[in-house]
Structure 1
């Protein structure tokens, strides 16, 4: 799963990486979205999508998808993750999978590991320090009073060997060479892109033990991702693992509130 993540990247670097134009309105809306160390469901997140002309656009949406057919947004369950194996068929995500696929930029994400009676947070990031793109979905909910809420969700898949030490699920991390294919909703149907929804390579990421301050969404500062010990890593060869894996499938971040 993915219940918290981090985005620490400059506006210019984001533009260069994802290839979208930056205008004054974008800067005004997204300037305070950079350097976020504890992004949680219901909060605004940056997504990148492509219009019918194929040009990428960066937008802000609320993390927690509201299906377009929902009658009352306040009573809708918080759909911040979508299982990639079933998203194309589930009514909540089916339309977004067909027409509104997106990228969710992230520097890393958190997962929790049970240590006795406590849950130890780990910060998971690419070993080379690069910015990732999660596979995402977005939807616009229209209220009966004409109001609009742009929302989004992150797709998850089964854990790779590193993540299996912490949880049985992980976010879908798209390879940059696959971004155009994922965003091409005009020509590629969900069945055409399902091969992209796979676990990341075992040696892509590292899992860094960090402070339990990450457990609270009230904390949002650089100290949250400071290492407390050496990171967990997996070598590319299946028989050369740095630590013995354990799995705790019910680890989840603390519950979040609502913006409504």
Structure 2
């Protein structure tokens, strides 16, 4: 993935793209950042697809603190199966992250500029992702993704 992305397509378009039965409740967002909630699409308990909002920054189920997720916003394909933070999610909890574009920064340190990257037709697309379910020390559940 990237450091920032956007999702502003109409919910009906996202539902068609992701194969959802019903469109997600969604407001346009142009600067989704790590540690914010974003939309993901995953397989539900019945084998269908569901859209859920989750915390961007994967928090492994074994993590002691939520803060670890802020450093796990990108997963490299070549190391997913080996890295402890991604291994279980890679095996069992894959998802799609719908987007209309993402941003990459280029330039010399201190003067980097964001570049918007998207489809030539400006349509939505989906990025491969992983999701995880984490419980804080008090037992509250938080779902996260990368």
TM-score normalised over the length of structure 1: 0.53
Q: Which has the larger radius of gyration?
A: 1
Distance in 1 between residues matched to 2:138 and 2:101, nearest whole Å: 38
Superposed displacement of residue 3, structure 1: 0.3
1:67-86 deviation per Cα after TM superposition (whole angstroms, max 9, x unaligned): 00112224665211111100
1:46-87 deviation per Cα after TM superposition (whole angstroms, max 9, x unaligned): 000012432000000000010001122246652111111001
Whether 1:55 aligns to 2:45 is: no
Distance in 2 between residues matched to 1:89 and 1:116, nearest whole Å: 32
Whether 1:15 aligns to 2:15 is: yes
Distance in 2 between residues matched to 1:116 and 1:79, nearest whole Å: 22
Whether 1:83 aligns to 2:79 is: no
Distance in 2 between residues matched to 1:116 and 1:68, nearest whole Å: 35
Match of 2:138 among 141, 145, 148: 145
TM-score normalised over the length of structure 2: 0.91
Distance 1:126 1:42, change over 3 A: same
Query: Superposition RMSD on alpha carbons, in Å?
Result: 1.9
Whether 1:129 aligns to 2:118 is: no
Higher strand share: 2
Match of 1:102 among 86, 95, 99: 95
**Aligned residue pairs: how many?**
146
Structure 1 window deviating more from structure 2 (90-99 vs 117-126): it is 117-126
